[in-house]
Structure 1
């Protein structure tokens, strides 16, 4: 397996400095983020996000928070005039890019981190987060915050990269380490940012470990569905009523 270039140093710095560097990453790539997702996943990320949206089942009267919602792609698919859909993201650059999208007319925007979600206890019907939870500084704290803001019976739906099946792992690793940073340099002019993104995927907990963190935070009916042979995984948990 190709050795990961740690020149950006995310795995070797204190948590608060890591948080600042992550913010810098998303400021650097905001304008190219959606395009890069399309290219590096061959558009498959859109299918995975549609599965997330379908599982969320947004409906009239709900309060829905899309945490780390970035440019609002997922939020826009859940939004409507008869419900409140809010993107919470610490990156002002990402949200500003999203505000320019034609399909985000019914989306609200709020600058916030996963460890300190600015909603009252038990005030959110559904909380979604797609490809963003691995970027929080304190994972257990963020999951506890998601549990706190959900109403009894409310659900957390978390779509994130995970541990792929061993049959495809060598090919996936080669593509991730060799191709994606070069695409980041060519298209987004930010090779360090995409080196970080690959590092963050490799350091993220596997499917069973993530399910255990959900249960530790108090979620019930915890389950997951592998997507793309485990390249991504949709985790779901319900706050007990």
Structure 2
């Protein structure tokens, strides 16, 4: 790992990024839906539906939903009958998710505080690993990818949903202007927090492009890697298999 890592457009010490990202998500936990609506124009709900259809959770499987504290992905997978462990490094995000689960009458999930870079789970334990809009906030992404590979069984499925860079001419400029200028203002208006929303937009710009991230997934040991871009790559589903 390098001496510095990106925190938005800044380069900071790795420990500082971990701390500052934690502060961001503590700040936005209670406004999670507002955050995603502001960043995606509400489309994140559709993208998450598509994502879970790609995962194809099944009854009897053990699935780890990493960085899934508020439960958005887990709630979509719950009807399958899979045993779902929701893990997140941020306790405030987990609190929101557990409250939402209780309101939905979903009491069969495991909720646990965990760092994607140093998972407490045993080797070859899960059938699938999902992480939606969380991998770009990890301090050491290659280490987290290796941990995902470690905890998956042979034949296990790995799925990432993450913002990327759209390749559609014209649309990229429109979204860039919207995200940089309007989203922080929406954050200030709706959550009294422009800085956290500004970081989240900047973190998208610093995240590797689709081919580069697919290469990182392969380097972690996954095979049959695949990228499914949506809106020209504004967001993408990355996947791979452990054999």
Aligned residue for 1:127, secondary structure, equals strand
Aligned to 2:209: 206
Contact 1:76–1:107 under 8 Å retained in 2: no
CA 1:133–1:48: 2 relative to 1, 3 Å:
same
Greater shift in the superposed pair: 111-120 or 131-140: 111-120
Task: Quote how far apart the aligned CAs of 1:108 are.
Answer: 1.6
Aligned residue for 1:113, secondary structure, equals coil
Corresponding residue to 1:154 among 134, 153, 156: 156
Q: Is the 8 A contact 1:61 1:84 kept in 2?
A: yes
Q: What TM-score comes out, normalization by structure 1 length? A: 0.93
Match of 1:185 in 2: 188
Cα deviation digits, residues 105-161 of structure 1 (max 9, x gap)? 332211001101221111100000000000000010000000010000001000000
- In the TM superposition, what whole-angstrom CA distance separates every residue of 1:157-191 from its partner, at most 9, and x where no partner exists? 00000111141111111011000000111111111
> Which residue in 2 is equivalent to 1:17?
16
Please give the residue correspondences for 1:23-172 in structure 2 after superposition, counting only pairs within 5 Å.
23-80=22-79, 82-101=81-100, 102-103=103-104, 104-167=106-169, 168-172=171-175
Instruction: Report the counterpart of residue 235 of structure 1 in structure 2.
Output: 238
2-structure distance, mates of 1:82, 1:52? 17
TM superposition score normalised by structure 2:
0.92
Contact 1:81 1:106 in 2 (8 A): no
C-alpha distance in 2 between matches for 1:172 and 1:9: 17
Q: Deviations over 1:64-96 (max 9, x none)?
A: 010000200111111259431011101111110
Residue 174 of structure 1 pairs with residue 173 of structure 2: no
Question: Structure 2: 5+ residue runs without aligned partners?
Answer: 1-6
Q: CA deviation at 1:9?
A: 7.1
Q: 1:150 to 1:9 in 2, by over 3 A?
A: closer
- Matched residues in 2 for 1:60 and 1:125: separation? 11
Q: Secondary structure at the match of 2:73?
A: helix
Aligned length, in residue pairs: 233
Q: In angstroms, what is the RMSD of aligned CA positions?
A: 1.5
Following the alignment from structure 1 to structure 2, what is the Cα–Cα distance between the partners of residues 225 and 82?
26
- Judged with a 3 Å threshold, the aligned counterparts in structure 2 of structure 1 residues 75 and 28 are, in CA distance, closer, same or farther, namely same
Higher helix share: 2
